[in-house]
């Protein structure tokens, strides 16, 4: 049973436009959500996170939105740049999980110049 | 560079064999995590150690074992290898039991 799902395996957008990556979760105990970015031949790197007490967190071009009632979060990248092309993983954890992250399957973002 | 070092980067072996993957966490980090990524899938949590003690266990097979040594480096031992064990194995570390995880570049295991 996948507790964190990213239903779009890939996404292609034009440079300068908005990229929206989606993530759904089923475990209502999750209270902290993260996005990781992964380039080929590298490990995932932390991008942005959000606590369940918030519905939005912004960091530069990256914004994460959380809809707890729908158990859905999304990552918005505006404007998208070719260097953003990577695989993006959504992850979730709970307060008592000891920092154990449950990851989604990833979405490959391609930003075309 | 995340500061987490994993060796070897690539490993090819045969079914039935045993391998050891090594991880050196970031300087000062007490927590080490092991994740498995198979065939463009998400990362599956295997096991977590904190300051030498096992802290949490995920979907880790009985053929797999891990430990964290007094110098805080960790090893993941995979035995009686099967074709399906071919995957990327990531190690991550964090300062404590909360906070950002820093991932190594992974060890790619191919079982033939």
Count the residues in chain B.
Answer: 112
Cβ neighbours around A81 below 10 Å, total = 13
Q: How confident is the model at residue A10 (pLDDT cuts 50, 70, 90)?
A: very high
Look at residue B59 in the predicted model and tell me its pLDDT. Answer: 83
pLDDT at A113 over 70: yes
**From chain A, which residues contact B within 8 Å (Cβ)?**
2, 4, 6, 9, 36, 41-46, 89, 97-106
Residue B40 touches partner A, C-beta closer than 8 Å? yes
Least confident span in A24-38, A87-101, B77-91 = A87-101
pLDDT digits (tens, 9 = 90+) for A22-62: 999 999 999 999 999 999 989 999 999 999 999 999 999 99
Q: How confident is the model at residue B17 (pLDDT cuts 50, 70, 90)?
A: very high
B103 has pLDDT over 90: yes
| Closest Cα in chain A to B90 | A43
Give per-residue pLDDT as tens, B39-81: 767 899 999 999 999 998 998 999 999 999 999 999 999 999 9
The confidence score (pLDDT) of residue B42 equals: 83
Phi, then psi, of A51 in degrees rounded to 5:
-90, 155
Residue A13 CB partners (closer than 8 Å, separation 6+)? A19, A80, A109, A110, A111, A112
B35: chain A residues, CB-CB within 8 Å: 103
Q: Which residues of A touch B90 (CB under 8 A)?
A: 43-44
Cα B59 to Cα A48: distance, rounded to the nearest angstrom: 26
d(CA B20, CA A20): 39
CA-CA distances (angstroms) from residue B66 to B16, B18, B48, B77, B108? 18, 13, 9, 6, 17
Q: How far is CA B80 from CA B10, B74, B106, in A?
A: 18, 20, 21
Task: Determine what percent of chain A is predicted with pLDDT higher than 70.
Answer: 98
**For residue A95, what pLDDT is reported?**
75
Residue in chain B closest to A5 (alpha carbons) equals B42
Annotate chain A with DSSP letters as a single string: --SEE---SEEEEETTS-EEEEEEE--TT--EEEEEEE-TTS--EEEEEEETT-SEEEETTEEEEEETTTTEEEEEESS--GGG-EEEEEEEE-TTTTT--EE---EEEEEE-
- Least confident range of A68-72, B6-10, B52-56: B52-56
Identify the pLDDT of residue B40.
65
On the question of pLDDT at A67 being above 90, the answer is: yes
């Amino acid at each position: 049973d996948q507790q964190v799902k990213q239903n779009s395996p890939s996404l292609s957008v034009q440079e300068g436009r908005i990229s929206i990556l989606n993530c759904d979760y089923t475990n209502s105990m999750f209270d902290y959500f993260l996005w990781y970015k992964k380039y080929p031949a590298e490990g995932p790197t932390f991008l942005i996170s959000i606590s369940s007490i918030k519905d939005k967190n912004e960091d530069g071009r990256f914004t994460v939105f959380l809809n707890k009632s729908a158990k859905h979060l999304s990552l918005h990248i505006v404007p998208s740049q070719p260097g953003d092309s990577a695989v993006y993983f959504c992850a979730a954890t709970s307060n008592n999980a000891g920092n154990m992250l449950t990851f989604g399957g990833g979405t490959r973002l391609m930003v075309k110049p | 560079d995340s500061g987490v070092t994993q060796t070897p980067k690539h490993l090819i072996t045969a079914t039935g064999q045993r391998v050891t993957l090594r991880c050196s966490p970031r300087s000062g980090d007490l927590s080490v995590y092991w994740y498995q990524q198979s065939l463009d899938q998400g990362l599956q949590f295997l096991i977590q150690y904190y300051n030498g003690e096992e802290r949490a266990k995920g979907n880790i097979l009985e053929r797999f074992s891990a430990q964290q040594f007094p110098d805080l480096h960790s090893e993941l031992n995979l035995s009686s290898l099967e074709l399906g064990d071919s995957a990327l194995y990531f190690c991550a570390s964090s300062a404590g039991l909360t906070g950002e995880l820093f991932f190594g570049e992974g060890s790619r295991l191919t079982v033939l």
